[in-house]
Chains A and B, each alone.
Chain A
Amino acid sequence: MEPTRRAVVAGAAALPLARFLRAPRTSAPELPRISLAEWSFHRAIRGGTLDHLDFAKTAKEQYGLEGVEYVNQFFADKATNFGYLGEMKKRAEGVGVKSLLIMCDEEGSLAAPDIKERMTSVEKHCKWIAAGAFLGCHSIRVNAYGSGEPDEQAANMADSLHRLALVADGYGLNVIVENHGGLSSNGAWLAGVMKKADHPRVGTLPDLGNFTDYDRYQGVTEMIPWAKAFSAKSYDFDEQGNETKIDYFRMAKIAVDAKYPGWVGVEYEGEKLSEPDGVKKTIELVKRAFGKALGL
């Protein structure tokens, strides 16, 4: 029997509605994926008790995490060594761990006033983009360091970021800026840099800890629209397992409200606990805080 026009129209109209009604079930809120930032083990790695090459395995076997965030200081002279990078990649993939990003330090000042100095810094960062791409990362993290007036530094940083983004885009990578001291820990300034850099491959890495006299909740709120990674920094914990300086519940709500879609990287930096204990407590706290923010 020929369907009536009305039935066809009704049927078509019902489709999006049915999809809408099903949506809450298929996209039920879930905890964010949790990754491990290598800085959490800076004492062990510097002390020689943990080999950088075994970091991914540690993340998986000791903490059940399936993503890692590398720190370039721990393989500083290996960015151009494909044999070494190949071993890193093989080991991470062998334990089912995804390499997410490389945090890059000590490669010059991307916001320097002198164009030649700035370009040298851009060129020094490029090898980490290639290394990150080879490892399967989504981003490299850079610092917004320089000198001069804030507006001038913002313009220079935006120029460097845009240039890095063009290189990174060729590799399918992002270039993200962390609040990491100086002007970069001023959320409003960094948001201004993001607007000026004006490239979808440019973003932020909000670190919950790295604010000096800037309000950390305001700072993370200002950075979160551009966030492609998220560092759950921790220093110390009270008896309930809450961070003593940072209200994780408030931070989780900021991320959830902004629909931040990425991984949450655990980065314990305290002195009182052992690194493994600090990491475990941070993982537990991230789960509780995001669980509450998501209404789980």
Chain B
Amino acid sequence: METSVQISLAAWSLHRRFWARELDPLDLARKAHDAFGLAGVEHASRFFPDRATDFGYLAEMRKRADDAGVKSVLLKVEERGPLAAGDASERFTAIDRHFPWIVAAAFLGCDWVSVGAEGTGVGAPYLDAMADSLQRLATIADSYGIGMLVGNRFGLSCDGSWMKALIAKTAHPRVGVHLNADNFELGGGKVYPRDRGLEEMMPLAKALTARSYAFDARGDEATAGVASVAKLAVAAGFSGWVGVEYDGASLPEEEGVAKTVAMLRRIWPDVTSTSR
């Protein structure tokens, strides 16, 4: 049975393999294809943090992905400074430190680069600062022919209504949300309602990452509600790539990824048919 969903492998799924140096970051794409039959990958800067400016390295990464017939869908940038910092100088430094990753994403053939909305400010200044940073980054990304996404990672960015306001204020056609279906921690022990967050952000989502932890006997994801995420995505007309991000501890990473992929392939046509 053919499915309509395009599934990619998020690098984080194999973080234990990377940390243990059992898997070379250059081989993420090959692994996605050979082990899981996937045609897309989501890169993460943390696994090759000092290579953004190394065109030789990036060319090799690109070549291996091309050889495996795998598309680099997006590059997730982390730990490059607070884009919503209250201090302008600090914020502009963060923008500059994100720059090489935009170039790297474009060089790898990604459609998107994904950033966080970390900051030190609060309230309206926080939103204004992040919107300005996002607008600037989107302008740079646009010049490289790629789009700029902001991920719901932590804090205000996990508040769906705040994210809607941010995207509206940024007002750039190539800005969107990199929606992680399981990140709704607002900080201070508070959690934004997941279903509400998903409903609010799904229409803005250009890329979707489905996180998984554990599976029941039937093979359904048991804790992160992947099935309901799929339903919401289809209902919202989401047509992008769905990244698999296995983050559980009970299974070997490969097994967790394989189960998540199998589940997505199994349920996606179902939700498509029931939504018609």
Contact = CB atoms under 8 A, between A and B. Distances in A.
Interface of A: 79-80, 82, 115-116, 119-120, 122-123, 126-127, 130, 133-134, 163, 166-167, 170-172
B144 A122 contact: no
30 contacts: A80-B106, A80-B143, A80-B144, A80-B145, A115-B88, A115-B89, A116-B132, A119-B92, A119-B95, A122-B96, A123-B96, A123-B99, A123-B139, A123-B140, A126-B96, A126-B99, A126-B140, A127-B144, A130-B53, A130-B99, A130-B103, A133-B53, A133-B55, A163-B92, A163-B93, A163-B96, A166-B93, A167-B96, A170-B52, A172-B53
Contacts of B97: 166
Interface of B: 52-53, 55, 88-89, 92-93, 95-97, 99-100, 103, 106-107, 132, 136, 139-140, 143-145
Contact of A82 (B89, B92, B107): B107
A151 B143 CA distance: 34
Given A123-B139, A133-B55, A166 B96 contact: yes
A130 B100 contact: yes
Secondary structure dominating the interface of A? helix
A119 B52 CA distance: 21
B170 to A, nearest CB: 15
A118 B111 CA distance: 29
Contacts of B144: 80, 127
Contacts, number: 52
Q: Considering residues A115, A119, A120, which has the most beta carbons from chain B within 10 angstroms of its beta carbon?
A: A119
B204 to A, nearest CB: 24
Given A82-B107, A119-B95, A127-B140, A170 B100 contact: yes
B145 A171 contact: no
Q: Considering residues A79, A133, A163, A170, which has the most beta carbons from chain B within 10 angstroms of its beta carbon?
A: A170
Q: 4 smallest A-B Cβ distances: which pairs?
A: A80-B144, A171-B53, A170-B53, A130-B103
Nearest to B62: A82
Contacts of B89: 115
A158 to B, nearest CB: 13
Given A127-B140, A133-B55, 5 more contacts: A123-B140, A126-B96, A127-B143, A163-B96, A171-B53
A134 to B, nearest CB: 5
Q: Considering residues A79, A82, A120, which has the most beta carbons from chain B within 10 angstroms of its beta carbon?
A: A82
A110 to B, nearest CB: 13
Contacts of A79: 143
Nearest to A126: B99
Contacts of A119: 92, 95, 136
